[in-house]
């Protein structure tokens, strides 16, 4: 779609100076198409995607039409929400920066009438408001619309969705018949077409295809990461921001499968979508994703085409898209409906040049991000953990365990020590948002292990190890309540047989063997770190780990014999405190 320099659109020097000051290099397609009609006084219907620059498309002709010598409302902009009203008013302020004497005023519910009366009395010429509050002011007589020249409906589809239809009808039927109408909407359902028919004359219909839009509401970042460190960077960013709903784009089906495997083994609830799946399988995955039965959808561009999900928190470009169009298409899935979203792009090696040229071509603002250190992730998790704990305590939404607590108190333990010990035990698991959280996590609808069961079943890719059937996490207070820690059923259900060349050293308790890990006090490791990691990665109950001996450079942990092989295989290569784990069975 065509774009033109603002200078060719017949604008005043004041507005041209303003767009230049705002850093707009040329008019976006919707602006190129709408502004001339708007200036000519014609009614316009503008349909284009979020982020395509609709605000300036109507604000510029409106500003050009305002007679600043008149202190009367000459333009009315209706918006669905107060946030949008404020945002649009700000854009008006910037675009009219050099047009002396133009006053714009947002009016919306929730703000005092007093303030709005004052603004209206001061002679605002452009009023930007939510339909309800605009009606209020009309009825109170504080908003007079006799001098109105233009009415704008911004996000008309959303306003109707939000039930503003009657208010809008009322407002439109009480403004001067001679006014110009500008309708903007991302979609054009029948209700809107009907509204337009009744309130416009021979409107120019401007429709811009979605892919031409850039999506500036999306906070865009790129990270330079070595190809081999991508997974680590991905999981750190997910953990740091505590993302719960997003799409991760890969360039190939193989990458999708691989990443799905890796993320699963690290305890993330994800599923995948690519061309090798049957339509039925795809529908099922999509249906689950929409109802948020899992958190991250890993997909190729083709598979994700036509996928309609809203409210994604984040889109990851795990692999760089082919071109700017694919890029904007991908990231357009986050930050919809005026909400802010995030797009995170990984580049390795020379890909940075490709990203730069895409950014230049599509005029994208992508800032450089830095992969957080493990320490920063831990800190952020600790904060999340504290917050959860506080909320739990405040809302008292937990089962009481008086019997256990009383028993410990009776044995002479101080309550502060008991609490500290429990937190200590929990931290590796519960502050690690991805490990099965033994404490009830109120904001999660379905615990992760529930989903893991389902998706593990549907994943056709052969796993290196038998996937353990995850059980609901049992009480972590193994040592505190020995009677509640039988041999974990999840493990004994699938015993793994392997004849070891040498006999594994038996642990301190019967049924346990010892596994050595290459981290120790040198890395400030705590038992909770290790238990949390094991539980998080394997999805086995924390009780599979028994006694732990921390040495300077290694740690010996007793692990339930049936689980040892799974633990060793799953933790191989997984980082803990900056060290890649190399677990090994201790033999005697």
29 binding partner (options ligand ADP, Mg ion, none; Cβ < 5 to 8 Å by kind): none
Smallest distance, Mg ion to C-beta of residue 305, A? 24
Of 158 and 179, CB closest to Mg ion: 158
SS (H, E, C) 210-268: HHHCCCCCEEEEEEECCHHHHHHHHHHHHHHHCCCCEEEECCCHHHHHHHHHHHHHCCC
What DSSP string describes 291-310? TTSSSEEEE-HHHHTT----
Of 49 and 277, CB closest to ligand ADP: 49
47 binding partner (options Mg ion, ligand ADP, none; Cβ < 5 to 8 Å by kind): none
Distance CA 272, CA 67 (A): 57
56 binding partner (options ligand ADP, Mg ion, none; Cβ < 5 to 8 Å by kind): ligand ADP
Asked if residue 45 lies in contact with residue 217, where contact means CB atoms within 8 angstroms, the answer is: no
Q: Token match 């009776």: residue?
A: 410
Residues lying near Mg ion in the complex (CB under 5 A) are found at 54
Of 47 and 300, CB closest to Mg ion: 47
> Token digits for 72?
């009367």
> Token digits for 70?
């008149």
Of 126 and 408, CB closest to Mg ion: 126
Collapsed DSSP state (helix, strand, coil) of residue 206: strand
Helix 82-95 × helix 54-65 angle, to 10°? 60
123 binding partner (options ligand ADP, Mg ion, none; Cβ < 5 to 8 Å by kind): none
Smallest distance, Mg ion to C-beta of residue 192, A? 15
265 binding partner (options ligand ADP, Mg ion, none; Cβ < 5 to 8 Å by kind): none
Distance CA 510, CA 139 (A): 81
Of 56 and 298, CB closest to ligand ADP: 56
Of 216 and 372, CB closest to ligand ADP: 216
Residues lying near ligand ADP in the complex (CB under 6 A) are found at 24, 27-28, 31, 48, 50-56, 216
Distance CA 532, CA 553 (A): 19
Going by the DSSP 8-state scheme, the letter that residue 544 receives in this structure is G
Smallest distance, ligand ADP to C-beta of residue 186, A? 8
Of 196 and 422, CB closest to Mg ion: 196
Give me the count of residues in the chain: 588
97 binding partner (options ligand ADP, Mg ion, none; Cβ < 5 to 8 Å by kind): none
Smallest distance, ligand ADP to C-beta of residue 335, A? 10
Asked if residue 246 lies in contact with residue 316, where contact means CB atoms within 8 angstroms, the answer is: yes
24 binding partner (options ligand ADP, Mg ion, none; Cβ < 5 to 8 Å by kind): ligand ADP
What is the number of other CB atoms lying within 10 angstroms of the CB of residue 140?
11
Smallest distance, ligand ADP to C-beta of residue 303, A? 26
Phi/psi for 514 (5° steps) reads -105, 130
Phi/psi for 122 (5° steps) reads -70, -10
Of 24 and 205, CB closest to ligand ADP: 24
Of 50 and 455, CB closest to ligand ADP: 50
In Å, how far are 150, 517, 551, 557, 574 from 522, measured between CA atoms? 71, 13, 8, 16, 18
> Token digits for 539?
């999805």
> Token digits for 570?
């799953």
Helix 402-410 × helix 415-426 angle, to 10°? 120
Report the residue number whose CB is nearest to Mg ion: 54
53 binding partner (options Mg ion, ligand ADP, none; Cβ < 5 to 8 Å by kind): ligand ADP
216 binding partner (options ligand ADP, Mg ion, none; Cβ < 5 to 8 Å by kind): ligand ADP
52 binding partner (options Mg ion, ligand ADP, none; Cβ < 5 to 8 Å by kind): ligand ADP
431 binding partner (options Mg ion, ligand ADP, none; Cβ < 5 to 8 Å by kind): none
Smallest distance, Mg ion to C-beta of residue 216, A? 11
Residue 64 Cα to chain centre, angstroms: 38
Smallest distance, Mg ion to C-beta of residue 180, A? 19
Asked if residue 125 lies in contact with residue 72, where contact means CB atoms within 8 angstroms, the answer is: yes
- What pairing do the DSSP bridges indicate for beta strands 545-550 and 44-47? unpaired
- What pairing do the DSSP bridges indicate for beta strands 555-560 and 545-550? antiparallel
Smallest distance, ligand ADP to C-beta of residue 30, A? 7
Of 54 and 554, CB closest to Mg ion: 54
What is the number of other CB atoms lying within 10 angstroms of the CB of residue 239?
22
Smallest distance, ligand ADP to C-beta of residue 48, A? 6
Smallest distance, Mg ion to C-beta of residue 185, A? 10
Smallest distance, ligand ADP to C-beta of residue 336, A? 10
Of 157 and 232, CB closest to Mg ion: 157
């Amino acid at each position: 779609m065509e774009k033109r320099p603002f200078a060719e659109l017949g604008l005043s020097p004041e507005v041209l100076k303003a767009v230049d000051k705002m850093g707009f290099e040329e008019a976006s397609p919707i602006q190129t198409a709408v502004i001339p009609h708007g200036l000519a006084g014609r009614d316009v219907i503008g349909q284009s995607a979020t982020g395509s620059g609709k605000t300036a498309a109507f604000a510029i002709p409106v500003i050009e039409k305002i007679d600043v010598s008149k202190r009367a409302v000459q333009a009315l902009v209706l918006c669905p929400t107060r946030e949008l009203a404020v945002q649009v008013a700000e854009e008006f302020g910037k675009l009219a920066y050099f047009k002396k004497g133009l006053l714009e005023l947002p009016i919306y519910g929730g703000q005092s009438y007093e303030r709005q009366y004052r603004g209206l009395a001061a002679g605002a010429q452009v009023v930007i408001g939510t339909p309800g509050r605009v009606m209020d002011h009309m009825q109170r007589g504080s908003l007079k619309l006799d001098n109105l020249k233009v009415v704008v409906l911004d996000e008309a589809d959303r306003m109707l969705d939000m039930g503003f239809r009657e208010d809008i009808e009322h407002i439109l039927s009480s403004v001067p018949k001679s006014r110009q109408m500008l309708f903007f909407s991302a979609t054009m359902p029948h209700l809107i077409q009907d509204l337009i028919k009744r309130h416009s004359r021979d409107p120019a219909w401007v429709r811009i295809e979605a892919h031409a839009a850039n999506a500036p509401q999306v906070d865009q970042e790129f990270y330079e990461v070595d190809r081999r460190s991508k997974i680590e960077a991905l999981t750190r960013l997910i953990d740091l921001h505590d993302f719960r709903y997003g799409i991760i784009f890969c360039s190939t089906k193989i990458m999708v499968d691989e990443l799905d495997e890796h993320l699963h083994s690290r305890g993330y609830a994800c599923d995948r979508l690519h061309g090798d799946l049957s339509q039925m399988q795809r529908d099922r995955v999509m249906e689950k994703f929409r109802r948020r039965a899992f958190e991250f959808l890993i997909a190729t561009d083709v598979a994700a085409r036509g996928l309609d999900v809203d409210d994604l928190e984040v889109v990851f470009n795990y692999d760089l898209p082919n071109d700017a169009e694919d890029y904007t298409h991908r990231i357009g899935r986050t930050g919809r409906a005026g909400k802010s979203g995030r797009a995170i792009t990984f580049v390795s090696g020379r890909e940075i040049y490709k990203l730069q040229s895409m950014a230049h071509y599509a005029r994208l603002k992508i800032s450089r991000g830095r992969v957080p250190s493990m320490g920063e992730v831990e800190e952020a998790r600790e904060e999340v953990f504290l917050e959860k704990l506080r909320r739990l305590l405040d809302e008292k939404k937990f089962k009481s365990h008086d019997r256990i607590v009383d028993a410990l108190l009776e044995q002479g333990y101080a309550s502060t020590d008991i609490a500290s010990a429990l937190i200590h035990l929990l931290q590796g698991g519960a502050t690690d948002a991805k490990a099965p959280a033994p404490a009830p996590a109120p904001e999660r609808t379905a615990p992760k292990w529930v989903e893991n069961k389902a998706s593990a079943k549907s994943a056709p890719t052969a796993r290196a190890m038998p996937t353990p059937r995850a059980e609901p996490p049992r009480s972590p207070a193994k040592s505190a309540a020995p009677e509640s820690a039988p041999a974990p059923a999840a493990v004994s259900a699938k015993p793994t047989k392997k004849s070891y060349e040498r006999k594994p050293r038996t642990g301190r308790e019967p049924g346990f063997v010892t596994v050595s890990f290459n981290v120790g006090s040198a890395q400030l490791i705590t038992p909770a770190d290790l238990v949390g990691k094991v539980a998080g990665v394997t999805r086995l109950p924390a009780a599979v780990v028994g006694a732990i001996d921390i040495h300077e450079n290694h740690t010996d942990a007793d692990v339930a014999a049936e689980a040892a092989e799974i633990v060793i295989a799953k933790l191989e290569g997984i980082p803990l405190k900056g060290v890649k784990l190399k677990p090994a069975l201790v033999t005697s």
